[in-house]
Chains A and B, each alone.
Chain A
C-alpha cells in the first residue's frame, strides 16, 4: 500500500530505510541538543540582571518560538511530506491563538 519500495528486494529496502531512519534520528538528536542549549540561554538571559526586560522578554520569546519550531519540524515530523493539512490546520490554530493573545494584551485593560 503506502510502502514506497523501489527495488524488488525487501532486504535492500530495509537497509535503505534503516539508514534513512538513523539519519533522521541524528537530526533529532542534534535538534534536541540545540533545544537544551536554547533553554539554557533563556534561563541565563533572565538570571543575568544587566539585561533590561525590554531586551530579555522579546529575546526569550524568540528562543521559545525557535525551539517550538524544532519540536514541530523535527520531533513531530512536520518537515516530512504528507503534512500539508496538519500544517494548514496547526497554523490556522496559531493564527486564532495570536489574535486572542493580542486582543487580551491590548484591549482588556481594566
Chain B
C-alpha cells in the first residue's frame, strides 16, 4: 500500500505532503523566495538613498518598497525559514517519527504561503501597503487604495498558519519525545523551538485582534481607531507591539538554538552551562512579554510607565548575557573547526552583542527620545535581526543542508558567502548608527546634501551590494550542489552530537526504523563515546504507522485566499461579497470533509523498512 502511495508526480506529492521533512523543504523554498524579494526591495531602498536628492524611485513607491521590505522579511522570510529549520530538525532531534499534527503542519505552511502570496499580489493590483511594517493606524487608516487591506488580510491568513505551526511544535515536543529524552536532555534547538512556539501561541492572538480591528475600520465601517467617533489609534500600537516584541524573540530564540548546536558540534564539546542556557531561554521568553511598550516611549504614556518598561527591557540583557558567555566558554579549550556554519556562529557573537548594547541604549527611555525614529534604531534592529536571525538561518541552512537534501554544500563557496555577507552586513549597518546620531530620520525617501550624510549613505549602499553578492554565491552553491554535490554521510560533519546525525541523509520518511533509547544529553555522542556505531533501539523492528497525505490543507488555505480577495473588494464591486462568501464556504467545506472522512493513515511494513535501511546504509 505504501509503495502505491509513493508513486505520484513530484508536484502532487509536495502539494499533499504531510511529512515534516518535505514541509521543511517547502518552507525553505517559499521563505527563500520571499527572502530574495525582500532583499531586492532592500537594494532598491539603498540605491534610492545612495546619493542625496535621488529620484530612482518616487516618494510613494519608496513607501511601498520600505513597507514591503520590512513586512516580507519578518513575516514571509524570517518566520518561514525558522519554521523550515524547526520542521527539518526538531522531530528527528527528539527521536520522533513524526510531528503531533502532520495535517495541521501542512495547513500551517499553506496558510503562510497563501497569505504571503496575497500580500505580494498588491504589487499588481493597485499598489502595495505603504504605512510601514508597523502600519500604525493613524497612518494606515488614511492610506488610499487597497494596499493596507492586502497587508491586513494577508497577514491575518499567514498569522493563522504560524499559530497552528506553533501549537504543533509544542505538542510534538511534549508528547512525541523518544524514551529517555527527558526535558533536560533535549538539544538546545529543541528547547528554543519549544519556548518560541509558546511565544507564538500567546503573541499572535493580539496581532489577530489588531488586524481584525484594522479590517473592520477600513472595510466594514468600524471605529476602533477613529478619534472622531471615540476611537483611539494608540490601541493599535499596543496590540501590534504586544505581538511585535515577542515576535523578535520568536525569531531570535531559535537562532540561539541553532548557534548552540553549531558551536557545540564544531568545538567538539558539550554545550557549556546547558541548564543555565535552558533557564535563560525560558526567562527571555517570559520577560519578552513585559517590554512591548519600549517601542512607544515617545507616545506619552507617562514617566512611570516608561520607567517600568525601560527597567524590564534592560533586565533581558541578563539572560542574553548568560548565553553569550556560555557560547564563549563552550569554545574555550574546544577543538574548533572553522566550517562555514561555525564561521557564522563566531561572527554572530560580536555582531549580536553590538545589537544588544544598542538595545540597552534604546531602552533608556530618556535617551530614546533622541534615538527614536532615527537611523540609530534602524541600525539597532538590523544588528539584532540580521546579525542574529539571518546569520543563524544561513548557518543552519549550511549545517543541516546535508540532512535535508543528502548533499554537502561546497565549503569553499560557503565561506565566500559568509565573508561577503559578513563584511557587507557591517558595512551597511554600522555606519547607520552614526547617521542616526547625526539626525537622519528613518523612513525618509531622500535627503538634502550638506548634512554630512552623503558618505555614510554611500558606504551603506555599497555594503548592501556585498550582501547581495553573498546571496548570489549561495544560490550558485545550491545549484552546483544539487547538480553534482557530494553525497552526505549520515553524520555529515563527522562530529554530530544529536539524534538527527544518526539517521541517513536525507532522513527516511519514517525517520527512525526503531525508536531510539536516549541515554543522555547529546544522545548520539553518548553512543559514540561508548564505541557504538548506531543508537540503542527502544523497540523491536516492526510496521510503522504513517499519516496519509492530504490535499485539503491547500484547499482550506485557498478558500481563505479567495475569501480575502472578495471581502477586500466588497465596497467597490458587487461581486465582492459573493466571492468572499464562496471562499469561506470552500474553507469550511474542506474543514467539514476533514472532519467526516476518517483518516487512519497507513503502515510501512517491516520488510520494506529492512529494504530501505539496507539501501540507506549502502549509499
Chain A interfacial positions (CB closer than 8 Å to B):
85, 89, 92-93, 95-96, 99-100, 103-104, 106-108, 110
The answer to whether residues A99 and B234 also contact, given A85-B174, A89-B198, A107-B301 and a CB cut-off of 8 A, is: no
* Cα distance, A107 to B289, chains bound together (Å): 16
- In the bound complex, do residue A99 and residue B289 qualify as a contact, i.e. CB atoms below 8 Å apart? yes
Contact between B234 and A108 (Cβ–Cβ < 8 Å)? yes
Closest 3 CB pairs of A and B: A107-B301, A96-B202, A107-B305
Distance, CA A89 to CA B198, complexed state (A)? 8
Please determine whether A89 and B201 come into contact, CB atoms closer than 8 angstroms: yes
Kindly provide the distance from the CB of B177 to the nearest chain A CB, expressed in whole angstroms.
13
CB <8 Å contact, B293 and A107: yes
Interface residues of B (CB under 8 A from A): 170, 174, 198, 201-202, 206, 232, 234-235, 238, 242, 289-290, 293, 301-302, 305
Query: A85-B174, A89-B201 known; A104 and B289 CB under 8 Å?
Result: no
Considering the chains assembled together, what is the distance between the CA atoms of A89 and B238 in angstroms?
Answer: 23
Given contacts A107-B293, A108-B238, A110-B234, contact A100 B206 (CB under 8 A): yes
Main secondary structure of the interface of B (DSSP, over half): helix
CA A96 – CA B199 in complex, angstroms? 10
The answer on a CB contact under 8 Å between A110 and B232 is: yes
Report Cα–Cα, A97/B39, bound state, in Å.
36
- Taken together as a complex, chains A and B put the C-alpha atoms of A89 and B285 apart, in Å, by 13
In the complex, A106 Cα to B293 Cα: how many Å? 13
Determine the distance from Cα of A89 to Cα of B200 in the docked complex, in whole angstroms.
Answer: 12
With contacts A99-B290, A108-B235 known, what are 14 further pairs, Cβ within 8 A?
A85-B174, A89-B198, A92-B198, A95-B289, A96-B242, A99-B289, A100-B242, A104-B235, A104-B238, A106-B305, A107-B293, A107-B301, A107-B305, A110-B232
Q: What is the bound-complex CA distance between A93 and B232, given in angstroms?
A: 25
Question: A107–B301 Cα gap in the complex (Å)?
Answer: 6
**Chain A residues in 8 Å Cβ range of B170:** 89
Residues of A within 8 A of B235 (CB): 104, 108
Cβ contact within 8 Å between A92 and B202:
yes
Query: Are A93 and B202 in contact, CB atoms less than 8 angstroms apart?
Result: yes
Q: A85-B174, A96-B289 are in contact. Are A107 and B302 (CB under 8 A)?
A: yes
Inter-chain contacts of B301 with A (CB < 8 A):
107
B201 surroundings in chain A (CB, below 8 A): 89, 93
Q: B232 contacts which chain A residues (CB < 8 A)?
A: 108, 110
Cα–Cα, bound, A99→B246 (Å):
14
- With a cutoff of 8 Å between Cβ atoms, the chain A residues found around residue B206 in the complex are 100
Q: Which residues of B contact A108 (CB under 8 A)?
A: 232, 234-235, 238
Nearest-neighbour CB distance to chain A for B205, whole angstroms, equals 9
Identity of the chain A residue whose Cβ is nearest the Cβ of B234 in the assembled complex: A108
